[in-house]
Amino acid sequence: MSALEILIIETSLPIKNSVIWLHGLGADGHDFAPIVSDLNIPNTRFIFPHAPYKPITMNNGYEMRAWYDLFGLNLQNQQDEAGMREMQKNIESLIINETAQGINELNIVLAGFSQGGAMALFTALRHTGRLAGVLALSTYVSLKEKLVDEASTANMDMPIFMAHGIFDSVITLDTSSVSRQLLEGLSYSIEWHEYAMGHSVCTEEIDDISRFLKKAFQAE
């Protein structure tokens, strides 16, 4: 396991909170960096890792930044379990690095968009320490059949923000809704949002994310 390259943005000192934000397939850590100022979250370190380059089966083996291999966008397709579990270790290392700098896990949020959102959920739901929350944007629960056995009891009451575009043709609203229903069936607390957009992020969503983060970090 090699360490991930990261981009760091700190909003103001002292740093009391951390957000680890995972980009989507083919993007990099710079993708969501511009919205930090719009979120207006003080005393927070935003960590934007760059996924390593991987050949993507769905894209005829073309190499791009990815958290794991993709065989298709339907959850009935084969899933790269080994790749997910390897990347989980990398993200756990980022959490450990934050706690080593004095950040309580209760003040750490995992966030991600699309494939990054799936990886954020995959990691957070299995993490053994209680986190502040998860931002799962335009995404889904991967390896859902294994979640019941692998879910961490520490994060059963962790707030989860799920948001999706009703016109998303990359990961459909129905795909995300199935994941929402799965999580709600397991008694997770889901804050669900739908927006009139495609596979993207909109201003209204950024405002809702800001409110979610401020609430997650207010219990200092």
CA angle 6, 9, 12 (to 5 degrees): 150
- How far is it, in rounded angstroms, from Cα 190 to Cα 184? 7
Quick count: other Cβ atoms within 10 Å of Cβ 205? Answer: 21
- How far is it, in rounded angstroms, from Cα 154 to Cα 132? 11
Which of these is catalytic: 23, 31, 80, 114? Answer: 114
Q: Say whether 152 is catalytic.
A: no
The first and second tokens of residue 6, run together, are 């990261």
Which of these is catalytic: 18, 69, 168, 176? Answer: 168
- How far is it, in rounded angstroms, from Cα 64 to Cα 67? 10
Which of these is catalytic: 199, 200, 208, 210? Answer: 199
Q: Say whether 168 is catalytic.
A: yes
- How far is it, in rounded angstroms, from Cα 142 to Cα 119? 8
* Active site members: 114, 168, 199
